[in-house]
Chains A and B, each alone.
Chain A
Amino acid sequence: MSEQAPPVSIIDEKNVRIVEFTNNKILDEANIAEIGATLNSLIDDTDQPRLLLDFTSVDHLSSAALGMLINANNRIKQRNGQLRLANIKPQIFEVFRITKLDRLFRIFTSRPDALASFDK
């Protein structure tokens, strides 16, 4: 069993599951796999899942991390859910812009804005 802190913390607010990354890097493949498994279990846990990923602490991510986010997005769509991303730092947002994933994901500058964007 791992003695490291979980890679995400989860809180519920306004019927939305808010996922905060606890590590400033989403690079390591084992770490990405663990985050992906956690997101999958959150998504599969409910019908029409509503997830908000808060990137406040994230300073680095890799293409493998982007793949994990796309997988989560596809899974949520299959279950008629909603996914929002918030608090992405400018350097990280540039990665989304270069890969054109800023067009795929719904990205907000703050958590309240993201929360307000969920369909009722």
Chain B
Amino acid sequence: MVQQTRYGMSLKFVIPSDPSRGREVQARILDEVAKNKFNSDSIFAIKLALEEALVNAIKHGNKLDPNKQVFIEAVVSPRQLELTIEDQGPGFDRTCVPDPTAPENLEKCSGRGILLIESYMTTVEWSNNGRRVHMIKRND
């Protein structure tokens, strides 16, 4: 659903735990971001964070369960993107996620998605026991 609000263009999606549907959502949101003339670094950051957050929700949260859904809302204005993604998985405790940059974890093949989301977005908040991530990227 697409709706103009006082904060910007709101895009809402409810998708099954299917990576190809996640790609469609990414394309729609990135299209709106481009229309709002975000700069190159902001677009790069959003593309990366969106990819990581959707993979987290679909694969790690819902574990590709076709009976579980992912809820996405993006509010886009020329000033910022506000993005909320929520899954129906068991959730996780952010404080228990190992630091992937620690020497003992550097050669592990996974565990960098959250670090990248938190590094590239302006603000990131996890809630609902880690099932929901709310993030903002300012276009500056």
A and B: partners?
Answer: yes
Which residues in A have some Cβ–Cβ distance to B below 8 Å? 27-29, 60, 62-64, 66-68, 70-71, 73-74, 91, 95, 98-101, 103-104
Partner of B55, one of A64, A66, A101: A64
- Residues 43-66 of B, flagged 1 when their CB comes within 8 A of A and 0 if not, give 010011001100100000000000
The interface residues of chain A lying within 8 Å CB-to-CB of B19 are: 29
The interface residues of chain B lying within 8 Å CB-to-CB of A99 are: 100-101, 112, 115-116
Closest chain B residue, CB of each to CB of A99: B112
Check B107 for interface membership: any CB of A closer than 8 A.
yes
The answer on a CB contact under 8 Å between B106 and A63 is no
Partner of A28, one of B23, B52, B101: B23
Check B113 for interface membership: any CB of A closer than 8 A.
yes
CA distance in complex: A70, B109 (Å): 6
A-B contact count (CB 8 A): 52
The answer on a CB contact under 8 Å between A103 and B116 is no
Output the least CB separation between B31 and chain A (Å).
Answer: 16
Q: Contacts A91-B44, A98-B116, A99-B116 given; indicate if A62 touches B52 (C-beta within 8 A).
A: yes
Q: Contacts A99-B115, A99-B116, A100-B101 given; indicate if A63 touches B107 (C-beta within 8 A).
A: no
Output the least CB separation between A27 and chain B (Å).
Answer: 6
Partner of A63, one of B23, B44, B52, B101: B52
The answer on a CB contact under 8 Å between B48 and A95 is yes
CA distance in complex: A21, B113 (Å): 22
The interface residues of chain A lying within 8 Å CB-to-CB of B44 are: 60, 91
Q: A62-B48, A95-B116, A104-B106 are in contact. List 18 more A-B contacts (CB 8 A).
A: A27-B51, A29-B55, A60-B44, A62-B113, A63-B52, A67-B112, A68-B109, A70-B107, A70-B109, A73-B107, A74-B107, A91-B40, A91-B41, A98-B115, A99-B100, A99-B115, A99-B116, A101-B106
Q: What are 8 A-B contacts defined by CB distance under 8 Å?
A: A29-B55, A60-B44, A60-B47, A62-B48, A62-B113, A67-B110, A99-B101, A100-B106
The answer on a CB contact under 8 Å between B47 and A63 is no
